[in-house]
Structure formats: structure tokens, C-alpha cells
Homo-oligomer: A and B are copies of this chain.
Amino acid sequence: MIGKHHDKVVGSVVDALAPLADGMTILVGGFGLSGNPEALIRGVVERGVRHLTLVSNNAGNLGKGLATWLKAGIIDKVICSYIGGNEDLHTRMASGEVKVEVTPQGTLAERMRAAGAGIPAFYTPTGVGTVVETGKETKEIDGRRYLLERARPGDVALVRATMCDRFGNLRFWRTGRNFNPVMATAAKLTIVECDSLVPNGAIDPDDVHLAGIFVHRIVHVPEHENAFEFRTTRKR
């Protein structure tokens, strides 16, 4: 689609998610429950699409975030790097309800970066000599063996930004950045949920974390739960 870079701001999560369809591959930003596009995640369950392939570092946790997709039974497959204590995923993986592909975290990020950058495949040392190597081509380069990893594009990316202008230039907050920018580059349709929506020009060109060229729909969601997983503190 050419010329989609006008009028990106939509009025509601429902409007933002209108193009979703059954069977799509959806990339969802976040690291555990941090940096999650919370309203879009809720909206997908309400939207009623099914048989999704979810690409996410963790697929939720503590029954929250993307774990709600698992509980709603709308996911056929998860591509993630870490499961940990995500019981909703453990249960469905054990029962066979959800297929799970576990990928090294850096490889997962790089596969999406490659998809966004027009690189169909790349070699990496990560996973050589491990189960990750199974079924993959290898190549010796300068005396060291590497795995060939393929780009991982998505149909849709759901992204959380702290600030967004009307063209879709994004800024992220602290480690809420994580997979969000790289996923935004890797999908045919990138939908952004932003804490604050500002006019074009409000973000200095040098201060843009991700250029609006990668963004297609924007929904402004001022309030977020920002759930904690481990609220560790020190004494004053």
C-alpha cells in the first residue's frame, strides 16, 4: 500500500484494530509486563480474532498482559524467548493447545530487525552446538561455525510508546523500549498505543527514537496500569 502516511490517528482501540483477521502473525512489544500496549492487548481479545501466531518475548506473565490471549484461547502458536513462571503458557504448551517456538532473545530481536531492514537471513554464533541448531543450515566463516537465521516478519505489530506525534514519530520511556521499535519495523501494519500524543514538531528531529515511516495507526491511551512483576526496593 502506497501513501498511507496521512491521518494515522484513529479515535479508538476498536478502530485501530479493525484490520486484524484470523490467522495473523502479531508482534507485540514489551518485556514481561513492562512496555506493553495494554489497551491494544485488551482490544484484541474483544475484537474476537482467533488462531493467531503471537511473537512476544514472554507472552505475558502472572495472568496479565498477553496471558489474557492465552486464557481467551485465541493463540495457536507462540514464538518467544522466555516462559519462566508464565503458568498460562506452561499449561497450554503441555496440553498441546498452543505450539511454542523458543528462540534465543537476541536472535528473536535480530530476526525482526532483519525483517524490517530487508535482510532475509543472517548468520549468528548464538545457538551453535545447541538444540537451537536443529534443522538449521550452518556455515563456517573464517574458521568459526554459524547458524543461518531467517527474518521474522509479522502481519501486525502492536507497539507501546510514551510519546508520539501525528506522523508517528515515537519516543519510549526507559526499559519500556525493549522490543517495541524493532517490532514496529517488522510488520506490514504497525499500530501504536501512546501515552501522549503531540503535534508534529514537538519532538526534535534528533530526539525521535523511531521514525514515523514505520507507523500506520496511532491510538492515544493516556492511562496505563504499568504492572510490576518484582517490585524491588532499597531502604532510604
**For A209, what are the chain B residues with a Cβ–Cβ distance below 8 Å?**
206
Q: Which of A146, A171, A172, A206 has the most CB of B within 10 A?
A: A206
Q: A206-B171, A206-B173 are in contact. Are A142 and B123 (CB under 8 A)?
A: no
Whether A207 is near chain B, meaning CB under 8 Å from some CB there, is yes
The answer to whether B121 touches A117, judged by C-beta atoms less than 8 angstroms apart, is: no
* A119 sits at the interface (CB 8 A): yes
- Chain B residues near A110: list those with CB within 8 A: 117, 119
Shortest distance between the CB of A204 and any CB in chain B (Å) = 10
Q: What's the nearest-Cβ distance from chain B to residue A117, in Å?
A: 7
Assembly CA distance A118 to B207 (angstroms): 27
Q: How far is the CA of A144 from the CA of B117 in the complex (A)?
A: 16
Task: Kindly state whether residue A3 has any CB partner on chain B within 8 Å.
Answer: no
Contact in complex: A146, B122 (CB < 8 Å): no
Per-residue B-contact encoding for A120-132, CB less than 8 Å = 1, 0 else? 1111110000000
